Amino acid sequence: MSMDLFGEVRRLVSMEEAARRYGFEPDRQRKIRCPFHEDSHPSLQLYQNGRGWWCYVCDQGGSVIDFVSRLFSIGPREAALKLNGDFSLGLAAGPARRLEARARQHAAYRRRQREQAFESAYLERQREFIDLRQELFMLPRGGRAGELLGRLDELEHWFRENPWR
């Protein structure tokens, strides 16, 4: 499976996001001071929907990748990789790396599920423990009280074995 790294980066990172990430503050017309000429007045227009930028003074423009490439004096592929890294896009990793990332995500998801299951089991027993104690308090000694005490012991044991984490 091949991937169009340039196309994906252009699709995923807007000019405005990139400009802000690298220290520019677009004005209300989405213009910034051009870093490619001595600019006292914002003359570099940022466009939306992957249409890149254009500087009216330099009379030049390009994609978000061209912008980063020129800004950091690096090649277009390096610029695409930089954007991939700076915006954590997760592109450009080989198939093995992508599989690894997916396995990590899956493991994290399973861990969260186990934690949630534990928390609800814990809270349920805690509720039961409190209710039992209340009930026991109102019962005469012997008979059903013995049964409740047994269950309380069980619960106390469970809480010792399963500390809240």
Sites of contact with Zn ion (CB under 5 A):
34, 36-37, 55, 57-58
**Least distance in Å: CB of 67 to Zn ion?**
11
36 or 72: CB nearest Zn ion: 36
Q: Is 146 left (phi over 0), alpha (psi -120 to 50) or beta?
A: alpha
In the structure encoding, which two tokens stand for residue 161, read together?
């074995």
By the 10 Å C-beta count (0-12 exposed, 13-18 middle, 19+ buried), 38 is classed as exposed
**Least distance in Å: CB of 41 to Zn ion?**
11
**Least distance in Å: CB of 56 to Zn ion?**
8
58 or 145: CB nearest Zn ion: 58
72 or 118: CB nearest Zn ion: 72
H-helix segments, the chain: 5-12, 15-21, 64-71, 76-86, 95-138, 144-161
**Least distance in Å: CB of 82 to Zn ion?**
21
52 or 81: CB nearest Zn ion: 52
By the 10 Å C-beta count (0-12 exposed, 13-18 middle, 19+ buried), 15 is classed as buried
